[in-house]
Amino acid sequence: MALTKDSLWIQRSDLADFRDISSNIADAKVTIYIREAQTVEIRNFLGDETYTLMQSDYNGSEFGTQKWTDLWDGTDYTRDDGATIRFNGLGSACVYWSYARFLVGQQTNVSRFGVQSLQDDITEDLPAGSVRTRVNEARGMAIKYQKDAENF
C-alpha cells in the first residue's frame, strides 16, 4: 500500500508535548491517526507537489533542507514590516489533527461482533457531545497552527 510508504514526520512522543495520552495505549494505536492526519489534512494543505518534495527530502528523522525543517518545526522570522514572529511549525497542526482523529476513534473498537463502545468497571465513556466538543477544540487548534503556516 503506497500510503504506508510515506515517512511519518511526527511520532507519538510529539503528541505528548501538546496533549496527555495514557502510556497504556500502544504506539501503533496512535500511529494510525498520525498517518491519516499527515496524508489527509497536511497533504491537502501543502498540495501534492510540496508534500512529495518534503517526503523525498525526509531521511527518517529530519529534513535535509532547511526550508522544510523551518516549515515543519518552526522558526522565528521577520515580516515585511520588521516585526519578528515566532512560528511554531506545521508539525503543531499535524499534532492536533492527529489528536482529533485519535479522540474520535478512541471510544470504539471493531471486533468480530461488530462496532462496540469501550467501557470498563473503572471508567465510563464520555457522552458523544463531550467528545465532539473536544474533537472540535483540537481541530480548531490545528486550524490555528495551519493558518500560522500559511502566514509563514
115-127: pLDDT as tens digits: 555 555 555 555 6
Q: Which residues of 12-38 are buried (b: 16+ CB within 10 A; e: fewer)?
A: bebbeeeeebeeeeeeeebeebbbbbb
Spatial contact of 100 and 94, defined as CB atoms under 8 Å apart: no
Strands 75-78 and 84-87: antiparallel
pLDDT in tens, 82-91: 999 999 999 9
- Using the structure block, give the residue that is written with the C-alpha cell 498520525: 34
pLDDT in tens, 4-24: 789 999 999 898 888 888 888
Report helix, strand or coil for 20. coil
Pairwise CA distance, residues 115 & 150, whole Å: 38
Predicted local confidence at residue 16, as pLDDT: 86
Question: What nine digits make up the cell of 107?
Answer: 471510544
